[in-house]
Structure 1
Amino acid sequence: MLQLITDAYFYPDGTSQSLSVSIKVASKTQFCVFDAEQNLLAQTCMQDVIVKDRLGSVPREVILPNVGLLTIPTSAEVDQWLSQSATKSKIAKLESNKTLILASSILVPAVLYVFFKFGIPSAAITFAEYVPQSMVEIASRHTLVALDKSVLNASELSSEEQQKYQNQWAQIQHQLDFALPKVNIHFRQSKTMGANAFALPNGTIVITDELVALLEHNTELLTPILLHEIGHVSHKHSMRLIAETMATSLAIDYFFGDLGALIEAFAGISNTIMQNQFSQKLEWEADNFALAQLPALGLKPDSFALAMEKLATTLPEESNLEKFVQSHPLMRERIENARNKAL
């Protein structure tokens, strides 16, 4: 049994100054603290003190409630003595439970997987339903204004040609037998974005002149692209993606934010991958929405595949690795999906 500790320090309550002290262990449960002149500073029982968890070779800390703080150089004997404390940290007890450690190593990753895979997307769907339409309108208008000032220019298509597409869309609405979201089609020219189309939350759909040219002004190929963007609006994908992105960032910061620079780097990569996977899921929903509507318009899923093939000619060759680091599914997979629907 440890009898005397001579190189400890004592910090009396209410002061930051330390005193060099010695500790005499009177019994398994009691000990006394003396200063350098052997004056008695404290006498207490192990069950009345609070022993902080061991942290590597850092001196052990023992709190004497309403008296002060002891710091004691760590050693096997000291650890054994302090383990008798009745107020030993519950965390320390859990950390020493091998069965619990093994169970946690299995259960924690499983719970996190279910949370990210199912919990966040499900919550995002609910969130999207409760966002006020006024906020959706404001966000959409501001986004379009910002894009018009940065990467979008006025369309070079003639007003007659733009009106032709608008009239065609009005006709499509009458042919489909379900209520479609309110959609406003805008044409823009953009060297930065190239052949592209995108939807804003309020139903604004922007189609670039470059996309119209790539599809050779073929409305049978443009219609599937338009329906794809309407799918985004119909399923409120923008609001869902915002909710998923925010929740993913907060969750990763909460679970991993205090583990240093290495984990911060990991969190950044993980966040990107998680967001892109969410986005890919939404892209598949929009693809399948468009493919489901084409027969009612007298068009085959092949028209969607042909449009995707033309878009693929403007993109670099894809690798399987890109599936995990880009926001859209691989183009060849989307084309194959459309071909399978045609069969």
Structure 2
Amino acid sequence: MDDSSASGTVVRVSARYFDGRSTRPHTVQVRLAQGQLQIDGETVRTQVPAAQVQWPERTRHGPRVARLPDGASLQSLDADAWDAWRRDTVHADGWVVALQQSWRAVAASVLALVLLLAAGYVWGLPWLAREVAQRVPDGLEDQVGEVVLAQLDDMVKPSRLPADQQRAIEAAWDDVLQRHQKAQAVHGRAVRPTQLLIRESEIGPNALALPGGTILLTDDMVRLVQNDTRVLSGVLAHELGHVQHRHGMQTLVQIGVLGAATSLVWGDFSGLLATVPLWLGQAHYSRQAEREADAHSVGVLRDAGISPAVMVTLFERFELFRRCGDDLLKPAAPDAKGPAEGTQACHKAEKQKTGQDDRQEAAWGLGFASHPADAERIAFFRAAAR
């Protein structure tokens, strides 16, 4: 391409030439003619095939550069003149450079990237975790469950419940499980094996489903529902849903992926900024898992001939526990005929509580709960019981 204007005048541009061997600049005039980049100055006179010249993408600020063979280069501090000369004689910038120079295009690109990352965070990561978890061999999941159980040794101890009470709970759950297995076998669906462990624990009224099928039921949960085996079967049916859907392995996969991502972004996974998005991510996914487990528990209870309404009783007891605390877990006296001592103390304390206390409790508890709101779950189980 020739660098002549419409009037036939040869177009040149001033630049500084560096030969690649020293830092001394040479003032030159540059023009393009017959496929050659001609460089003329008092101390320099050379030409380079235009095809061998590298033209880096221009930036909004800074000098303009052309890279020549053997380490030589041209630089121009007059960006406007260089850009006009290059546009008229070499070639116009590509669309990528044009987008880079547009703040609207940059803003749109950033927004698109944020939306893409958000979509991957909300839908992509759960899907990936679910697919990976379903393909984990049972033997490997069992080993993971054993490791997790070993890590809980400091938090769980042998149950302090009477032996006959434990046997009654195990027998009731075994009956529910057998009925559920028979009902599922008719449809050709297998129920994943589980192992029930009743343990004393510092984590309060709770039940946990570990990878591999181990279900932990705490003594305090038994005390909370006043040893109602039908309610406890509903609790265990919920945990069976976690086992069946392999939520434990999904959680481990999600933690691994989120941990790797946050460590790459922040550089230190142990820092607060790294752990916050990880914690928030797991809170969201836990709510999704709880809803799946709730739906699964309804099917288990129906197979066993138990109304899903027993789960409403569970949440009513949890509401009392939030209001009364550990007093609700006090056992009844051996010869008592009425409510347990803790229930009586709780109702007495209820009369002394104010509406302000209730509002403070709700504001603190629901904002950071990883489970769906109790009202939502109660409505779900009441509808399922109809």
The separation in 2 between residues aligned to 1:276 and 1:33, in whole angstroms, is 68
Q: 1:69 to 1:90 in 2, by over 3 A?
A: farther
2:205 — aligned with what? 195
> 1:138: how far off?
1.2
Q: Residues 146 and 102 of structure 1: is their aligned pair in 2 closer, same or farther, counting only changes over 3 Å?
A: closer
> Does residue 1:185 correspond to 2:204, yes or no?
no
Q: CA, structure 1 residues 224+24, in 2 after alignment: closer, same or farther (shift >3 Å)?
A: same
From 301, 309, 317, the equivalent of 1:302 is 309
Q: How does 1:1-343 map to 2 (within 5 A)?
A: 3-6=13-16, 10=18, 12=20, 18-27=23-32, 30-32=37-39, 38-40=42-44, 43-44=47-48, 48-73=52-77, 75-83=79-87, 91-95=96-100, 108=113, 111-148=116-153, 150-176=154-180, 177-178=183-184, 179-191=190-202, 193-248=203-258, 257=265, 270-315=277-322, 317-319=361-363, 326-343=369-386
Q: 1:265 to 1:214 in 2, by over 3 A?
A: closer
Where do 5+ consecutive residues of structure 1 fail to align?
none
Aligned residues: 327
Structure 1 residue matching 2:15: 3-state secondary structure: strand
Structure 1 contact 49–85 (Cα < 8 Å) conserved = no
Residues 283, 33 of structure 1: CA spacing in aligned structure 2 closer, same or farther, 3 A cutoff? farther
* CA shift for structure 1 position 295: 2.4
Measure the CA separation in 2 of the matches of 1:312 and 1:215: 12
Q: Is the contact between residue 12 and residue 31 of structure 2 (CA under 8 Å) also seen in structure 1?
A: no
Over the residues paired in the alignment, what is the CA RMSD in angstroms?
3.8
Q: Is the 8 A contact 1:59 1:74 kept in 2?
A: yes
CA 1:244–1:42 in structure 2 vs 1: closer, same or farther (change >3 Å)?
A: farther
> Distance in 2 between the 1:131 and 1:23 partners?
68
SS in 2 for 1:50: coil
Bigger Rg, which one: 2
Letter in 2 for 1:339: R
Note if contact 1:51-1:82 (Cα within 8 Å) is conserved in structure 2.
no
Q: Quick check: 1:198–1:205 contact (8 Å CA) kept in 2?
A: yes
**1:101-156 CA distance string (max 9 Å, x none):** 787577655554544443333333221221122211111101111111x3223322
**1:2–1:78 CA contact under 8 A, matched in 2:** no
Between the aligned partners of 2:212 and 2:144, the Cα distance in structure 1 is 8
Q: TM-score, normalised by structure 2?
A: 0.70
Q: Could you tell me the percent identity over the aligned residues?
A: 24
One-letter identity of the residue aligned with 2:152: L
State the shift of 1:173 in Å.
1.8
1:64–1:163 Cα change, 3 Å = farther
Alpha-carbon deviation of 1:330? 1.8
Q: Give the stretch that moved more between structures: 57-66 or 86-95.
A: 86-95
Letter in 1 for 2:228: N
